[in-house]
Amino acid sequence: MIEVKNWSDNYVKNNTNLSPYEQTERAGRVLWILLQDVIKGTRVTNILLSIQGNMTYNQNYRSVFVSSLNKINQFLENRQDSLNEKDVNKIVKSLKRSFIC
């Protein structure tokens, strides 16, 4: 799950709403819950993608990996696939059903 943020340094420092880390963690948790009905035991990796590169790892949110545009491709390419094509198609089909109004 990739949460993309293009927040200025000022907004990052002065934001009083949910932090980008909390937003990422919550979105990942919602996705994980949805996926458990499709394929039990499916794992979700939470990635906070900082477009401006001004966000760093926060140990209060250990389940959130922080990346930047320069590093995201390498991060994704070096990950080992844990789902086969059949499982991915099953997940996509289920998510499409879940989000059609």
Burial track 4-24 (b if 16+ CB lie within 10 A, e otherwise): ebeeeeeeeeeeeeebbbebb
What is d(CA 43, CA 19) in angstroms, rounded to the nearest whole number? 23
pLDDT at 101 over 60: no
Tens-digit pLDDT profile for residues 58-92 = 999 999 999 999 999 998 899 887 889 999 999 99
The better pLDDT of the pair 81, 94 is held by 94
Q: Which of 76, 88, 73, 75 lies closest to 42, judged by CA?
A: 88
Q: What is the pLDDT of residue 66?
A: 96
Which sequence spans correspond to the domains of the chain?
A: 2-98
**pLDDT at position 96:** 87
Query: Does the pLDDT of residue 4 top 90, yes or no?
Result: yes
**Could you tell me the pTM of the whole model?**
0.84
pLDDT of residue 11: 86
Per-residue pLDDT of 27-68, as tens digits, reads 999 999 989 989 998 899 999 999 999 999 999 999 999 999
